[in-house]
Structure 1
Amino acid sequence: MPPNIFARHSSEIDWCEANYLHSEYVAEYYNTVTNIAFLLVGPLMMYLLHPYACKRSLTVHLVWILFIMIGLFSMYYHMTLSFFGQLLDEISILWVICLGYSVWLPKPYFPRFIKGRSQFGAAVFVVAVFSTLMSFVKPTINAYVLNCITFHILYLLLKEIRKCSNHDIINLTLVSVCLWIVAISCWLSDRLFCNFWQRLNFRYLHSFWHIFICLAVAHINTVFAYIDAQYEIPDCTLQLTYWPFKSKRFGLPYLAITKKKVLKNC
């Protein structure tokens, strides 16, 4: 761990974008400003999914609050390239994924010794705390943990979607996976082939990663919310809808409750 984790450029990772090219205060300008996508999509998804959250659990909103925190921490990280910013960025991603697990993982996939969702949430919380502490002791563990979790999420997604007969949700899943593939390709290409992109004078793939992963999360979370609803709130009829064009398959996907019993007051 660097002696001064708050110092600029104390992070060992320096992305492909040229530093301080547009501002003397911002190390990576485009990698910083593209995080605004998280600050816009997070509150919007909270609003769009509020009827679903009222019926299912208001903890759904906490997922999007932490999603917004990812954007803020990532802005700080790319603005300073500090080791502390890197940790905040990676740890916030870890906590969003863990919270999503505790909220949306279908009960049939719980370990046998887990008796209910509250107990599963407590177990996930312990894992998240342990991983957070380990990230300070051995920071390289973050990349391995996040990658393993991501591939497990894709495995669960594809396994569940094979049982789905809703063609709109199947199409949304395909779009979600494609967005994730494009996003991770941008991340890897910026990290591994920086010299090539520098020769082309195009150093902004990590900025595209921010945009595509933001959209991918919004799409994938909507798929998991639909899958979860089939298990947890079968009394509701949920319709896949897109904002701002409700009848078109373009925009941000969300679940609209079209037929339901009385919602919780919230």
Structure 2
Amino acid sequence: MEDIVGSPWSERVSGVFAYESSKVDWCEENYRHSEHVVEYFNTVSNLIFFIISPMMLYLLHPYARERHQAVHLVWLMMVFVGVFSLYFHMTLSFLGQMLDELSILWVLALGYALWFPRRRFPSFIKDRRSFGRLVLIITALTTVSSFVKPTANAYVLNVFGLQLLYVLRMEMKHCTDPKALRLAKRMVALWVLAITCWISDRFGCAFWQELNFCYLHGIWHILIVMAVAYGTTLIAFLDASYEIPYSLPGIQYWPCDQWEVGLPHIVLKGNTKLRKEC
């Protein structure tokens, strides 16, 4: 009987953990700064997830407490995105790639389930719980299908992101708050810069290698985290305006609101406790 350690199945399983077992390789030169880290800057840049995520958890807590504690799951999941992205770029393993991409998929799914506007639900959906179940089914099917052609996963995720941006654009047509409008413009600017870095690193690698500047994917990590921070705050503001208008939601910036730069967050100016008692 063939030894299980040397069996084709065990070799296949161990292969998904192996360094550079993924077919995806970014522009940064491999092993340049460490023999244990394949893409050093792409790995280190993921530290931004562990800085911004706890701060956004804290800043959005008043809104989450009033609206739904599940809102915290978005930024908790972003921590896992950071962990898996760090692992992926450190090893370029197939397992790292899949964990990275699937964690992003589930963050997007959670955003859909929590914040997708009720008035845009399909006609056969009557409440958010049913919509959440639909999102869960679609996400589970997408998770399974992601193993069919893993190299296409990143492009599918970007398509989902574009669809969310389209919905947000449609919702902003009904918004007149000047701070929200400025926040939307900054969020789009950050996203455009981020996706430009991603595309340039993916398809313009030879050009950037000529310039000896192969760090655009790491810059993408930093920009996309900031774009998500701006985007989730904007979506939360719109959600609070529709679902809990008595809370009189507003947008402020940390550390100084007068600057209108930094980390945006929601403040609830209304007497929500009084409303609950009525």
**Residues of 2 paired with 1:157 and 1:231: CA distance?**
14
**Paired residue secondary structure (2:214):** coil
**Paired residue secondary structure (1:59):** helix
Query: Percent same amino acid at aligned positions?
Result: 50
Question: Which residue of 34, 59, 63 maps to 1:52?
Answer: 63
**Residues of 1 paired with 2:131 and 2:156: CA distance?**
19
Measured at CA, do residues 77 and 243 of structure 1 come closer, stay the same or move farther in structure 2, by a change above 3 Å?
same
Structure 2, unmatched stretches of 5+, are: 1-11
Query: Does the 8 A contact of 1:21 with 1:29 survive in 2?
Result: yes
Q: 1:251 matched to which residue of 2?
A: 262
Q: 2:39 matched to which residue of 1?
A: 28
Return the letter of the residue paired with 2:131.
F
Q: 2:75 matched to which residue of 1?
A: 64
Q: 2:228 matched to which residue of 1?
A: 217
Query: Does the 8 A contact of 2:74 with 2:107 survive in 1?
Result: yes
Superposed CA deviations along residues 175-216 of structure 1, whole A, max 9, x for unmatched, are 000100000000000010101110111100001000000100
TM value normalised by structure 1: 0.96
**Residues of 2 paired with 1:254 and 1:7: CA distance?**
41
**Residues of 2 paired with 1:53 and 1:39: CA distance?**
20
**Residues of 2 paired with 1:235 and 1:120: CA distance?**
25
Offset of 1:144 from its aligned partner?
A: 4.0
The runs of at least 4 aligned residues of structure 1 exceeding 4 Å deviation read none
Query: Does the 8 A contact of 1:39 with 1:68 survive in 2?
Result: yes
Question: Which residue of 17, 24, 40 maps to 1:6?
Answer: 17
Offset of 1:74 from its aligned partner?
A: 0.2
Offset of 1:247 from its aligned partner?
A: 2.8
TM value normalised by structure 2: 0.92
RMSD: 1.5
- Once the two structures are superposed, the pairs formed by residues 149-164 of structure 1 within 5 Å of their partners are 149-164=160-175
Superposed CA deviations along residues 112-150 of structure 1, whole A, max 9, x for unmatched, are 111100111111011111111111233245234312211
Q: Is 1:139 aligned to residue 150 of structure 2?
A: yes
Q: 2:177 matched to which residue of 1?
A: 166
**Paired residue secondary structure (2:250):** strand
- Once the two structures are superposed, the pairs formed by residues 82-121 of structure 1 within 5 Å of their partners are 82-121=93-132
Q: Which has the larger radius of gyration?
A: 2
Return the letter of the residue paired with 1:33.
V
Return the letter of the residue paired with 2:107.
V
Structure 1, unmatched stretches of 5+, are: none
**Residues of 2 paired with 1:145 and 1:254: CA distance?**
29
Offset of 1:3 from its aligned partner?
A: 7.8
Superposed CA deviations along residues 89-117 of structure 1, whole A, max 9, x for unmatched, are 10000000010010011100111111100
**Paired residue secondary structure (1:136):** coil
Deviating more after overlay: 178-187 vs 122-131:
122-131
Question: Which residue of 190, 195, 205 maps to 1:194?
Answer: 205
Query: Does the 8 A contact of 1:17 with 1:203 survive in 2?
Result: yes
**Residues of 2 paired with 1:9 and 1:129: CA distance?**
27
**Residues of 1 paired with 2:272 and 2:218: CA distance?**
43
**Residues of 2 paired with 1:141 and 1:127: CA distance?**
17
Return the letter of the residue paired with 1:124.
V
Return the letter of the residue paired with 1:158.
R
**Paired residue secondary structure (1:235):** helix
**Residues of 2 paired with 1:3 and 1:232: CA distance?**
49
Offset of 1:2 from its aligned partner?
A: 9.1
Query: Does the 8 A contact of 1:2 with 1:83 survive in 2?
Result: no
**Residues of 2 paired with 1:128 and 1:61: CA distance?**
20
**Residues of 2 paired with 1:260 and 1:37: CA distance?**
35
**Residues of 2 paired with 1:186 and 1:133: CA distance?**
29
**Residues of 2 paired with 1:239 and 1:227: CA distance?**
10
**Paired residue secondary structure (1:22):** coil
